[in-house]
Structure formats: structure tokens, C-alpha cells
Amino acid sequence: MSLMREKVALVTGAGAGIGRATALRFAQEGARVVVSDVDSEAGHETVRIIRETGADANFARADVSNAADVQAMIDHVIGSYGRLDCACNNAGIEGAVLPLTDQSEENFDRIIAVNLRGVFLCLKAEISAMLKTGGGSIVNLSSVAGLIGFPGLSPYVASKHGVNGLTKNAALEYAKQGIRVNSICPGGIDTRMLDSLAAQATGGKASTSEMMAPLHPLGRIGTADEVANLIVWLCSPQAAFVTGAHVPVDGGYVAQ
């Protein structure tokens, strides 16, 4: 039996990487999926891939740091399918890899705007929609950088710690209204973001796998599909007693 049959799911930052894999996984499990991204071309490509499988999906462009865009995205979901059951707040950026004293205010503000304000705005709009139809489930994308520190990534680390804080509070505030809110904390995952971080950290002298795989006890980096599997499970009835959790998917990284 499909985990998400007849459910409506929203995925932000779904034009590539973890977001695209998650949108595809929701569709595979029977959900009707709204794909959102600031990059319209990439988002439409995800929709095309989903529709080729025979599943139902459409696209809503949104910059999650913009409140009007976020509300328009939710309005699009409701206008298309009448309800919102599941949401994955995945949109995020990494920014510059520099010591704190070399980080610009502009870089800090942009990372906080997308990674933290974006999750805040999405939570507000998603929860408001879910309250009208009896509940739902939300997964926020944090990071192992939301659990521990990473030299050179102070704005990113601050944003992801903030995501975990928002997750805890939202889970507590809306548990009795049937809304579950969790975050996941990926380690090194094979995505363009990880490629960018590795290139900045090594000056392009080492591949992502060469740099990151030895840092994980399992001896490799993860895949976007492995993260997507966890996200969809957390949104499913199989995780009905899980809320307010921050779940690492990191090959044992933070266990060290």
C-alpha cells in the first residue's frame, strides 16, 4: 500500500538535489506534489520527470525569503488540490566558507533570510493551511551543522541551529491540533551544495568524495534518495508518534 496515497505534498527547493529526490519519492508513494523552487526551469524539469512516471505534479515558483511569494505558493497548493497534507521545507543555500571575522554582513543576512526566515515563513503558511483540514506533517531541512559547529560556516551553522529551534517550538505548539513537525540533519550528501563547499574548502584540489567520504564512519557520502526516503517516512502515518525530533542522516558523523 502506498504511504502517501491521496495526500498532497509540497517540496521547496525541489529543482535539484534532495528537493528533487524528495518530490519524486512523494510521487512514487502516491502523493500529488507541488514542486517549488526559485529556479523555474529546474522546477519545471522536476515536474516533467514526475509526470513521466504517471504521477500528478505541478510547479509554483517561490523565493522562500519573501512572505508574499510563500503565501502565493500555499495559495497555489490549495487552489490546485484543495488541501495540504505534507510539506518539506528544503530550500537553502550554503554561502561563503570563511572565518567568522571575514564573513560579510551581506552573506550572513542572505543565508539567514533563505535558510531560517524561509523556514519560518513556510511554517506559518503551511501550518495555517493544515489547521483548516485537520492536521498534517512537516519536515524541515536542517543539517549536521544544526547539531555541531563547522569552522568556516558560522552563518550556515547559525541558520541550521535556528531551524532546529523553530522545529521544536512548532512541534510543541501544534501537536494537539494534529500537526507533526520534525527536522532532519544530513551529513555529506552527493549534491551540488556539497560540491560547492568542498571546492571552497580545498580550493578545488580534492573531489567531494575524496574530501568528505573519510569523515563519515560508513566510509562514504550519502545520496539524495537516502535522505528523501527518510523525509517521506517522517511525513507518513508510519511515523505517527514522531514529532519535535532532529534526525541525523549522516553515516554516523555526529556519533563520533
Catalytic residues, which ones? 156
| Collapsed DSSP state (helix, strand, coil) of residue 199 | helix
Question: 47: exposed, middle or buried (C-beta count within 10 Å: 0-12, 13-18, 19+)?
Answer: buried
| Alpha carbon distances (Å) from 50 to 18, 37, 44, 139 | 15, 15, 10, 21
Evaluate whether 23 touches 252 at the Cβ level (below 8 Å): no
Evaluate whether 193 touches 94 at the Cβ level (below 8 Å): yes
> Around Cβ 240, how many Cβ atoms within 10 Å?
9
Name the grid cell of 128. Answer: 495555517
Evaluate whether 84 touches 94 at the Cβ level (below 8 Å): no
Single-letter residue type at 43: G
Name the grid cell of 201. Answer: 574548502
Bridge partner list, 61: 37
Evaluate whether 27 touches 47 at the Cβ level (below 8 Å): no
